[in-house]
Amino acid sequence: MMQTAAQDARESGKGTACLVIGVDDPTALARQMSREEFEEFLHGFGERIRGVLRNSDRIALLDGERYAAILTPTQRPDLESMIQLARRLQLACDAPYSISGRSINITSHVGFCLMTRAPDPTGKAILNAAEMAADEAGRNGPGAIRAYSPEIKQGPTVQSKLASDITPALEEGRIVAYFQPQISTDTGAISGMQAVPRWLDRDRGILAEAEILPAVIAKGLQVRLSEVMLFQCFGALRAWDKLPITPGLISLPIGIEHVTDPKMYDRLKWEFDRFDVHPQQVCLVLHREVTARLDDEVIMRNVSQCAKMGCRIELAGFGTGPISVSAIRRTGAERIRIHRSFVTNVERDPEQQRLVSAIVSFAAGLGLETLAEGVATIGEHAMLGQLGCSHVQGKAISAPLPLDECAAWMLRHDARLSSIPRPDLRRGA
């Protein structure tokens, strides 16, 4: 199956990936039940995996009580989307099981490999790499997620070293916020800044979010990372208050661990008061893992109260999973984010153009703005503007910037914008 997916991906110019999902300490679990009960559990474990995936994706039971999930080729799957999928798989798989009238609780680990990162673009190589990543995740569990990298071949790897270093890095200020500009497709003006974490490591250089998140997840430090990012975002807003131009909103992703905390709203409100920051300056970005659980009373209460307080709400990953119109309205969302998989090659792919146009029309019908992420070329930027997308973000505009470079970039961008001649639209001119 993996070989077929890899071949289809190569022939279509798309990408695929393999995830391997396993139970933490399956030997201890097997001791708690008979062989028939354990087989019943494994079947249920597999069905939960199947329930998270698309109908066209495939799963297979591997040795060692693990499943491989083989993804149908799509437009360039990336590390961020794979991490989000891995977390959704864990949420589904880690819920209690009822076996012979008993409640069984487990944790799971996930390893994955993107076709673009495999040692060789063959099905066998991709599967083997995903299994190696799962082995690494199993060593760093419970509940670990690992992406394949060449270092994983070396056994106890850089990834596990990152996990052991993440706590002091957070507490010593080595995890910092970088900011990626967002601009309006209508005016070209800066409309916001997306906060993304970066790890300033003395030996390894600047580590990106894809390397940070697995370490954070492995140590259960998602809430602490959110706190660090929030603190730095508020500090940035205070610094930018002195500029002659406005940077627009700061977009801050909020994870499932944050929104399931019944005290999230109260804590956030206290932080706004402490820093003297207006909630209207902040956009809370809800990814798929959150929007998939909007029926949760605590999550919906937190999100709706933040919206009533004045925070802007943005729903990310739009088009990659189901969400009802009623749920969108209940969140108070003002913007939806178009996933980068719909953005790639949009300037020359008619199917991509139709998909983006449909999303933009849907959003407009609900009175929502749209933001396209991962905009990599000037052509993509131009086409998204023609299709009616409100805002764009990506390396075609700017890479994420450290705080001390943001002000200079904003002023340069504003100066370039001011120097562009504008047509005189006065009547009779």
Q: Which of the pair, 423 or 360, is modelled with greater confidence?
A: 360
Residue whose C-alpha is closest to residue 363's, from 390, 342, 343: 390
pLDDT tens by residue, 301-324: 999 999 999 999 999 866 656 677
**What is residue 34's predicted lDDT score, i.e. its pLDDT?**
87
φ, ψ for residue 320, nearest 5 deg: -100, 0
Q: Which of the pair, 350 or 177, is modelled with greater confidence?
A: 177
96 C-beta neighbours (distance < 10 Å), count:
10
pLDDT band of 425, cuts 50, 70, 90: very low
173 C-beta neighbours (distance < 10 Å), count:
10
Rounded (to 5) percent helix, strand, coil in the chain: 50, 20, 30
Residue whose C-alpha is closest to residue 303's, from 70, 312, 354: 312
**What is residue 427's predicted lDDT score, i.e. its pLDDT?**
43
φ, ψ for residue 262, nearest 5 deg: -60, -20
Domain assignments of the chain as residue spans, ordered by start: 2-150, 164-418
Let me know: does 311 contact 274? Beta carbons within 8 Å.
Answer: no
Tokens of 167: 């706590």
**What is residue 106's predicted lDDT score, i.e. its pLDDT?**
81
Let me know: does 123 contact 129? Beta carbons within 8 Å.
Answer: no
Q: Round to whole Å and give the CA distance between 379 and 399.
A: 17
Tokens of 410: 């904003």
- Tell me the fold of 164-418: TIM Barrel (3.20.20)
Tokens of 102: 């008993």
pLDDT tens by residue, 134-164: 988 887 667 888 888 876 765 445 556 778 8
**What is residue 423's predicted lDDT score, i.e. its pLDDT?**
53
Enter the pTM of the model.
Answer: 0.64
Let me know: does 342 contact 81? Beta carbons within 8 Å.
Answer: no
15 C-beta neighbours (distance < 10 Å), count:
22
Q: Round to whole Å and give the CA distance between 21 and 138.
A: 10
pLDDT band of 294, cuts 50, 70, 90: confident
pLDDT band of 398, cuts 50, 70, 90: very high
Residue appearing with tokens 């967002």 = 182
**What is residue 158's predicted lDDT score, i.e. its pLDDT?**
57
Q: Which of the pair, 394 or 255, is modelled with greater confidence?
A: 394
Let me know: does 65 contact 20? Beta carbons within 8 Å.
Answer: no
**What is residue 233's predicted lDDT score, i.e. its pLDDT?**
94
**What is residue 207's predicted lDDT score, i.e. its pLDDT?**
84
The most confident of the ranges 71-75, 104-108, 241-245, 406-410 is: 406-410
Q: Is 167 exposed, middle or buried (0-12, 13-18, 19+ CB in 10 A)?
A: middle
Pairing state between β 312-318 and 335-338: parallel
What are residue 285's DSSP bridge partners? 253, 314
Work out the mean pLDDT of the chain and round it to a whole number: 86
Which CATH number fits the domain 2-150, given the four candidates 3.40.630.40, 3.20.20.80, 3.20.190.10, 3.30.70.270? 3.30.70.270
**What is residue 210's predicted lDDT score, i.e. its pLDDT?**
74
Count helices and strands (H / E) in the chain.
17, 17
Residue 421: is its pLDDT beyond 80? Answer: no
Pairing state between β 145-147 and 108-114: parallel
**What is residue 66's predicted lDDT score, i.e. its pLDDT?**
92
**What is residue 67's predicted lDDT score, i.e. its pLDDT?**
95
The upper half-sphere exposure of residue 158, i.e. CA atoms within 13 Å in the direction of its Cβ, equals 13
Q: Which helix (H) or strand (E) holds 179?
A: strand 175-184
Residue whose C-alpha is closest to residue 59's, from 23, 97, 24, 18: 18
Q: Round to whole Å and give the CA distance between 51 and 150.
A: 31
pLDDT, average across residues 33-50: 92
**What is residue 7's predicted lDDT score, i.e. its pLDDT?**
75
From the centroid of its chain, how far is CA 88?
11
